[in-house]
C-alpha cells in the first residue's frame, strides 16, 4: 500500500493533479481521501456564524478522525468517511461514504501537511504550487458556481482568511514536500515525474 499526500493552496490545481494520477493508475486500485470531508461539524452554531468560519485554519479540520481513518485503511480495515456540506457547514448525521483499503491512497487538501501525525502516515508528499493570481481566479469561479457565494463575498473572504492563512500555514508546509509541482495542475512534466515515482514505489512493494 502507498499513501500519497497532495497539498497546496486553495485553487492551486490539486484536484487536477489527483485526477491525472487516478486516470493514469486506472488499472490499479486508488482511493482519494479529501480533507474537505473531515472539517469539524458546526451544526451547533447558528447558520450566520457557520458561514463566517475560517476553513483555512488547521483547527477547522478533525485531524484526529482523519489520522484514525488513514491508519485503519493502512491496517486493511474499511472506514466510513464523513460527508461534509459547505452550504450548511455541517457533517451529515445519517450518511457516510464506505471506503475500502486499496493499493494507493491519496490524501488531498490544503492543510494536510500541517499535521505531524498525518505526515507520518504518508509515503510520498506532493505540494502543488501556483501563482496567487491564478489561485484567486479559480477560487472566484469555484465559490461563485459551486458554493453560491457572490464575487464580493469571495474577495472579502480571500483578503480576510484565505490569503493570510495561506501565508501562515499552507505556504510554510511546502518544506515537507518530497515533490513540488509548479504551475499547478497543468505541469505535465512534473506530473509525469510524480507518476514515475509512484510506479517505482509500487514495484518495490
**CATH number of 48's domain:** 3.40.50.300
Contact at 8 Å (CB) between 17 and 191? yes
The Cα–Cα gap between 108 and 46 comes to 29
Q: Residue 117 is part of which domain span?
A: 2-204
Q: What angle do CA 147, 153, 155 make, to 5 degrees?
A: 105
Nearest of 34, 180, 47 to residue 108 by alpha carbon:
34
Q: What pLDDT is stored for residue 61 in this prediction?
A: 96
Q: What per-residue confidence (pLDDT) applies to 60?
A: 94
Number of domains in the chain: 1
Q: What is the DSSP string of 30-85?
A: EEEEEGGGGBPP-TTS-HHHHTT--TTSGGGB-HHHHHHHHHHHHTT--EEEEEEE
pLDDT score for 27: 57
Q: What is the largest CA-CA distance in the chain?
A: 51
Rounded-to-integer distance, Cα 43 and Cα 51, Å: 11
Cα–Cα dist 186/202, whole Å: 24
Report how far Cα 183 is from the mean position of its chain's Cα atoms.
Answer: 17
| Per-residue pLDDT, 147 | 67
Task: Please give the C-alpha separations between residue 163 and each of 45, 50, 103, in angstroms, as whole numbers.
Answer: 25, 19, 36
- Taking a C-beta distance cutoff of 8 angstroms, is the pair 90, 44 a contact? no
All residue ranges of the chain with pLDDT < 70 are 27, 145-148, 205
Question: What pLDDT, on the 0 to 100 scale, is given for residue 201?
Answer: 85
Amino acid at each position: 500500500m502507498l499513501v500519497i499526500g497532495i497539498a497546496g493552496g486553495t485553487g492551486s490545481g490539486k484536484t487536477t493533479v489527483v485526477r491525472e494520477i487516478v486516470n493514469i493508475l486506472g488499472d490499479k486500485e486508488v482511493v482519494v481521501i479529501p480533507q474537505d470531508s473531515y472539517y469539524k461539524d458546526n451544526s451547533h452554531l447558528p447558520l450566520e456564524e457557520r458561514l463566517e468560519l475560517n476553513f483555512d485554519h488547521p483547527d477547522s479540520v478533525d485531524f484526529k478522525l482523519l489520522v484514525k481513518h488513514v491508519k485503519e485503511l493502512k491496517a486493511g480495515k474499511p472506514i466510513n468517511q464523513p460527508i461534509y456540506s459547505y452550504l450548511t457547514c455541517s457533517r451529515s448525521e445519517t450518511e457516510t461514504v464506505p471506503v475500502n483499503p486499496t493499493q494507493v491512497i491519496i490524501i488531498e487538501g490544503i492543510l494536510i501537511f500541517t499535521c505531524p501525525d498525518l505526515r507520518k502516515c504518508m509515503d510520498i508528499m506532493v505540494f502543488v504550487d501556483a501563482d496567487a493570481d491564478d489561485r484567486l481566479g479559480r477560487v472566484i469561479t469555484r465559490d461563485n458556481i459551486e458554493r453560491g457565494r457572490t464575487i464580493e463575498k469571495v474577495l472579502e473572504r480571500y483578503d480576510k482568511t484565505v490569503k493570510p492563512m495561506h501565508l501562515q500555514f499552507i505556504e510554510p508546509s511546502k518544506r515537507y514536500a518530497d515533490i513540488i509541482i509548479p504551475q499547478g495542475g497543468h505541469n505535465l512534466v512534473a506530473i509525469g515525474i510524480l507518476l514515475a515515482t509512484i510506479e517505482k514505489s509500487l514495484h518495490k512493494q
